[in-house]
Amino acid sequence: MHTTALLIFCFFFLLVTFAGFWAARWRRPASGMGSLEEWGLAGRSFGTWITWFLIGGDLYTAYTVIAVPAALYGAGAIGFFAVPYAIIAYPYMMLVLPRLWTVCHRHGYVTFADFISGRYGNRWLTVAIALTGVLALMPYIALQLVGIRVVISSIGIQGEWPLATAFIILAAYTYSSGLRAPAVIAIVKDVMLYIMVLAALIIIPIKLGGYARIFELANQSLAAHTPPATIFLRRGQFLGYSTLAIGSAIALMLYPHTATAVLSAKNANVVRRNAAMLPAYSFLLGLIALLGYLALAAGVATKDTSAAVPLLFLKMFPEWFAGFCLAAIAIGALVPAAIMSIAASNLFTRNLYGAFVRKKMTPQQESSMAKVVSLVVKFGALVFVLWLPTPYAIEMQLLGGIWIGQMFPSVVIGVFTRWFHPWALVAGWAAGLASGTAMAFSLGLKSSVYSLHLPLALGGTYAMYAAVPALLLNLLVSVVLTLIFRLTKIDPGTDVTDASAYIG
């Protein structure tokens, strides 16, 4: 038991708990939070800085702080794919998200599935997009709880009651404060995270003899792994590395929690400014990744690679500062877990339940249902973590990343053109989902890099991120069927969105 670390950890956890409940009063409108737009999007009132913290807190989760260094700790240079994918993502977000925000704001849309419903007028395509989002979010929320559990166990607390307690606190302040709670906590979390990473990358290298020595020791340690790895990409990893970066960048913007954070901005210029400012987080991510090599060089030995960073802090820092760092990681789980549960409840309320109930709900009824669903989502994630082995959550998250990328033709291309037929998009989505899932299961859900065997005339075998060939199949099916459906004059549905919202 690391008593001092535990006390510091508890202090900061209580601090953000208080902030989460206080957030219910922060910027609260006189009319209260009786609508889904107020509870789930904070009334679309956030300016540049709050949105920056919220999106950063949303995308850079506790499991990012644990899993990215763990990838380098266990597999070497391939784990650095997270850095170029973040760099690719922000120009892509600059092009797409302001336009999506404008359309969604003009029509009062709360989710990207709302946009699909208005753009294509097809209930089944809307349900497909909403269902994909909810299914992809569940293991993602579970991974945040896994991150908290890793931190708690590294301090020396055994049993599941601390995790259950953290869940109850998270559920309570999310229920009462909505999106305002993670927005407030994200500010605390990001400040702590920058302090943690900068301290680790200055102090630990000094103790270990500098970065040249760290890379040398890390390379020696990786060579002894099974299979052996290095701090450089091997020739056969180039395509897998690049497609992981590209595929992950495509998916990043399509996750429902990204949509929730973006749609809470008060205008499209806030979204543009954030796309310009968010590369600061890419710099942070590159620094976070190096913690994996620091753990190797420091001689941290563990079979659970997820524990490498917590064990590094406990080994190299005084207990009080190790407690601060571990609190930063745990708080980093609370922000995205809250936003993800809100995003999932918005999708269920508006686009799954709402798609099949003929009677339109009042804003108060929508808000009440979303609050209850957010509790159910968090409870489901907790059960997932408590009753299933941790690798299941990681493996399901691999599937989630493959699935979410299949929304690209409907959402991203759909915001620029209405050319695709909605039924062709449904068929393409199904083909992409089925092929991506089949590739992941053929790998035993242990990896997402699939060896695609093509005829020798086309180059033979290509090892790539499974989401990419699945998306290419999706696009092919969507294009071919759109041409067929147009020739046969099958009803393409009605676009009820305002054409002027797409201009500029």
* pLDDT score of 233 more than 60: yes
| The two three-digit tokens of residue 413, written as one number | 């291309």
Total Cβ atoms within 10 A of residue 238: 11
Total Cβ atoms within 10 A of residue 441: 11
- Is 199 inside a domain boundary? yes
User: 310-343 burial, b for 16+ CB within 10 Å, e for fewer?
Assistant: bbbbbebbebebbbbbbbbbbbbbbbbbbbbbbb
Higher pLDDT, 402 or 386: 402
Average pLDDT over every residue of 465-482: 95
CA distance 72 to 293: 7
- Is 421 inside a domain boundary? no
Give me the residue label for tokens 């003009």: 106
User: 66-87 burial, b for 16+ CB within 10 Å, e for fewer?
Assistant: bbbbbbbbbbbbbbbbbbbbbe
Residue 301: which pLDDT band, with cuts at 50, 70 and 90?
confident
- Supply the pLDDT for residue 170: 83
- Is 367 inside a domain boundary? yes
Residue 30: which pLDDT band, with cuts at 50, 70 and 90?
low
- Nearest CA to 88 out of 292, 331, 275, 340 is that of 275
- Supply the pLDDT for residue 145: 82
> Which residue type, as a one-letter code, is found at position 179?
L
- Supply the pLDDT for residue 458: 60
* pLDDT score of 326 more than 70: yes
- Is 485 inside a domain boundary? no
* pLDDT score of 46 more than 70: yes
Phi, psi of 446 (to 5 degrees): -95, -20
The answer to whether the CB of 167 falls within 8 A of the CB of 317 is: no
Domain that holds residue 18: 3-27+35-388
- Supply the pLDDT for residue 249: 86
* pLDDT score of 130 more than 60: yes
- Is 22 inside a domain boundary? yes
- Is 275 inside a domain boundary? yes
Picking from 358-362, 391-395, 405-409, which range would have the lowest pLDDT averaged per residue? 391-395
- Is 393 inside a domain boundary? no
The mean predicted confidence, pLDDT, of the chain is: 86
- Is 452 inside a domain boundary? no
Residue 412: which pLDDT band, with cuts at 50, 70 and 90?
very high
* pLDDT score of 341 more than 80: yes
Question: What Rg do the C-alpha atoms of the chain give, in angstroms?
Answer: 22
Q: Residue 244's domain is classified under what CATH number?
A: 1.20.1730.10
* pLDDT score of 115 more than 90: yes
**pLDDT tens by residue, 17-28:** 888 888 877 767
**Residues 6+ away with beta carbon under 8 Å from 363:** 34, 35, 36, 37
- Supply the pLDDT for residue 392: 61
- Supply the pLDDT for residue 203: 92
The answer to whether the CB of 403 falls within 8 A of the CB of 135 is: yes
- Number of domains within the chain: 1
CA distance 429 to 427: 5
Q: What percent of the chain has pLDDT over 90?
A: 30
- Supply the pLDDT for residue 31: 62
Length of the chain: 504
* pLDDT score of 410 more than 90: yes
**pLDDT tens by residue, 162-215:** 778 888 888 888 888 888 888 888 888 888 888 988 899 899 999 999 999 999
* pLDDT score of 389 more than 70: no
- Supply the pLDDT for residue 33: 58
